[in-house]
């Protein structure tokens, strides 16, 4: 895994295992160096929080060149689980495989979950299925409710390449009884006790013992055992619970740095914390709510508008399949949100009705200035929405709202 001008010994010294490109949804991809300790710590923490054992069967239909797919291989190898590997996501085939292969675990994104539900029709999730990790960006409450109604054990997840995949997860409702008895704290204690020797995983990171899972539809995410999360303002000063700011992460799964990019490494790894570039807030119990990418934030009339919130509201309309939102210049407010909409087959395609839907559910400053119908939203190989490409689709490149503010402001929601 050498690179021009960089001796192999330099990688071996830090225990580097691989170099992965970031998703590049908000800028050029960067090459993150992940160590063996990073990968092992992430896999062990995920298993202890969510459960994994020999005999499990994990469906892998995510790209293997992305951390979302690669991390499944590591988790399965450590647990002695079987991986059912699919070269691509085919909704009809995956719908059959869930039953035929007695799948226990799966990792999906919102778009593939929607396609899977459509393909299975009225059939509920098979009894063998214990966990569906849902990542790659936010999912609408309507989609989550639909999946839960069909007995899918959905676990919305926040993660990033620089943290070797998972950072925090909302436990599926099927694990409510175990979590309520304190197993979250117990698994954290077990992680701290058993890790930290031969594989180099640090043992001085603990999950706060008072963090309990939030099983509400829109509830907060529980950090993985060994992972600490804080919310900071523009000066990297931690803010109180309930205030919004940038999400920072600390723990044994955080990368060593970016390959041959000391400037980006210094900007991202600050004082032992990984600056994610994402907005969020922590509740009083330490559970995380992710709001949006810092670079995607739209500041309209001095108010923060998070595209992901608008996308969830628009996508909850019964005639909308999915939506994407970007900022466009506005002489009066500085910027306004513009929505791109993929209508469902047979929809009336009525922008006025969609505008009324939004007015009933969103504050005035969050109202989209227009709704643009498109056949599909631009996404990368892992299913993440490419907002830069979306802006270009509307001829908005360089128009503002896509590069985000120069600072993160903490405020009450």
Q: How confident is the model at residue 313 (pLDDT cuts 50, 70, 90)?
A: very high
pLDDT, residue 199, reads 35
pLDDT in tens, 191-209: 333 333 333 333 333 433 3
Find the mean pLDDT for residues 397-408. Answer: 31
Instruction: Name the CA radius of gyration of the chain, rounded.
Output: 21
Q: Beta 269-270 vs 257-258: how paired, if at all?
A: unpaired
pLDDT, residue 299, reads 83
Intrachain domains 8-293 and 297-393 with the same fold: no
CATH architecture for residues 8-293: 3-Layer(aba) Sandwich (3.40)
On the 0-12 / 13-18 / 19+ scale of CB atoms within 10 A, 284 is: exposed
pLDDT, residue 2, reads 43
Does residue 44 have a pLDDT over 60?
Answer: yes
Cβ contact 62:70 at 8 Å: no
pLDDT, residue 17, reads 87
pLDDT, residue 216, reads 57
pLDDT, residue 385, reads 85
Q: Chain-wide mean pLDDT for the chain?
A: 81
pLDDT in tens, 318-377: 999 999 999 888 888 888 999 999 999 999 999 999 999 999 999 998 999 999 999 999
H/E stretch holding 120: helix 110-120
Find the mean pLDDT for residues 41-54. Answer: 90
pLDDT in tens, 55-113: 999 999 998 888 989 999 999 999 999 999 999 999 999 999 999 999 999 999 888 99
d(Cα 96, Cα 91) in Å, to the nearest integer?
9
For 32-47, the DSSP string reads EEEEHHHHHHHHHHHH
Selected residue with higher pLDDT from 16 and 93:
93
Find the mean pLDDT for residues 131-139. Answer: 87
pLDDT in tens, 219-254: 689 999 999 999 999 899 999 999 989 999 999 999
Residue ranges covered by each domain of the chain? 8-293, 297-393
Angle among Cα 146, 134, 374 to the nearest 5 degrees reads 70
Q: How confident is the model at residue 384 (pLDDT cuts 50, 70, 90)?
A: confident
Which CATH number is 297-393's, of 3.20.20.450, 3.40.50.2300, 3.30.300.30, 1.10.10.10?
3.30.300.30
Closest CA to 109 of 132, 86, 141: 132
Beta bridge partners of 107: 133
Cβ contact 170:147 at 8 Å: no
């Amino acid at each position: 895994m050498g690179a021009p001008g960089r001796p192999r010994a330099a990688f071996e010294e830090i225990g580097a295992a691989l170099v992965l490109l970031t998703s590049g949804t908000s800028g050029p991809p960067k090459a993150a160096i992940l160590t063996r300790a990073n990968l092992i710590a992430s896999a062990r923490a995920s298993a202890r929080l969510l459960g994994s054992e020999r005999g499990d069967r994990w469906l892998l239909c995510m790209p293997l060149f992305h951390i979302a797919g690669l991390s499944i291989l590591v988790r399965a190898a450590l647990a002695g689980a079987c991986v059912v590997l699919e070269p691509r996501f085919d909704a009809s085939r995956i719908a059959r495989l869930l039953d035929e292969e007695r799948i226990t675990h799966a990792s999906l994104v919102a778009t593939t979950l929607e396609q899977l539900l459509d393909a299975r029709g009225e059939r509920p999730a098979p009894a063998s299925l214990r966990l569906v990790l849902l990542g790659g960006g936010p999912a609408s409450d309507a989609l989550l409710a639909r999946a839960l109604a069909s007995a899918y054990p959905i676990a919305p997840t926040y993660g990033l390449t620089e943290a070797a995949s998972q950072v925090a997860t909302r436990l599926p409702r099927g694990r409510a009884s175990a979590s309520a008895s304190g197993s979250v704290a117990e698994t954290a204690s077990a992680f701290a006790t058993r890790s930290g020797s031969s594989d180099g995983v640090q043992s001085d990171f603990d999950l706060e013992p008072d963090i309990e899972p939030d099983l509400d539809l829109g509830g907060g995410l529980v950090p993985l055992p060994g992972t600490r999360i804080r919310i900071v303002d523009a000066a990297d000063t931690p803010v109180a619970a309930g205030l919004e700011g940038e999400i920072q992460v600390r723990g044994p799964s955080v990368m060593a740095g970016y390959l041959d990019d000391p400037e980006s490494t210094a900007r991202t790894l600050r004082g032992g914390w990984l600056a994610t570039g994402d907005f969020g807030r922590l509740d009083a119990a330490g559970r995380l709510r992710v709001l949006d990418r810092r670079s995607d934030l739209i500041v309209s009339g001095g108010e923060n508008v998070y595209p992901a919130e608008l996308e969830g509201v628009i996508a909850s309309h019964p005639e909308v399949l999915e939506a994407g939102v970007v900022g466009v210049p506005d002489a009066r407010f500085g910027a306004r949100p513009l929505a791109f909409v993929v209508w469902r087959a047979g929809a009336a395609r009525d922008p006025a009705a969609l505008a009324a839907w939004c007015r009933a559910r969103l504050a005035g400053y969050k109202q989209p200035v227009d709704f643009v119908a498109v056949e599909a939203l631009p996404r990368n190989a892992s299913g993440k929405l490419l907002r830069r490409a979306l802006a270009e689709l509307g001829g908005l490149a360089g128009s503002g709202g896509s590069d985000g503010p120069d600072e993160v402001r903490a405020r009450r929601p």
